[in-house]
Amino acid sequence: MAGTVGYIGLGNMGGAMAGRLAANGFDLLVFDLSADAVEAAVAKGAAAAASGADLAAACDHISICVPDDAAVMEVITGDLGILGACRPGTTIAVHSTVHPDTVRDLAVLGAERDVAVFDAGVAGGAAAAEEGDLSIMAGVPESGLTDTARAVLDCCGGAVFEAGPVGAGMAMKVAFNVMTYFQQAALSAAHQIVVGEGSDPEQLLAAWRHVGQLGQLTERFYPLVTMAPETKVGEFGAFLEGTIYLAEKDLDLAASLGRELGRPMPVVETVRDSMGLVYGMPRPEGDS
pLDDT, average across residues 202-212: 94
Q: If pLDDT is split at 50, 70 and 90, which confidence band does 21 have?
A: very high
Strand-pairing partners, residue 165, are 140
173-278 placed in CATH 1.10.1040.10: yes
Q: Which residues of 243-274 are buried (b: 16+ CB within 10 A; e: fewer)?
A: ebebbbbbbebbbebbeeeeeebeebbebbeb
> What's at 28, amino acid-wise?
L
pLDDT tops 80 at residue 283: no
Q: Are 139 and 165 in contact (CB under 8 A)?
A: yes
End-to-end CA distance of the chain: 48
Q: Tens of pLDDT along 242-256? A: 999 999 999 999 999
Which runs of E-coded beta strand occur in the chain? 5-8, 28-31, 47-48, 61-64, 91-94, 116-123, 134-140, 157-165
Task: Give the up-direction half-sphere exposure of residue 258: CA atoms within 13 A in the CB hemisphere.
Answer: 16
Its pTM stands at 0.92
Q: Domain 5-165 - what CATH class?
A: alpha beta
The whole-number pLDDT of residue 216 equals 83
Question: 44 an active-site residue?
Answer: no
Q: Tens of pLDDT along 158-182? A: 999 999 999 999 999 999 999 999 9
Give the other-Cβ count within 10 Å of 183's Cβ. Answer: 16
Dihedral of alpha carbons 1, 116, 245, 42, sign: positive
Span(s) in the chain for CATH 3.40.50.720: 5-165
Q: Taking Cα atoms as reference points, which of 45, 70, 271, 276 lies closest to residue 180?
A: 271
Out of 44, 173, 232, 249, which one is annotated catalytic? 173
Span(s) in the chain for CATH 1.10.1040.10: 173-278
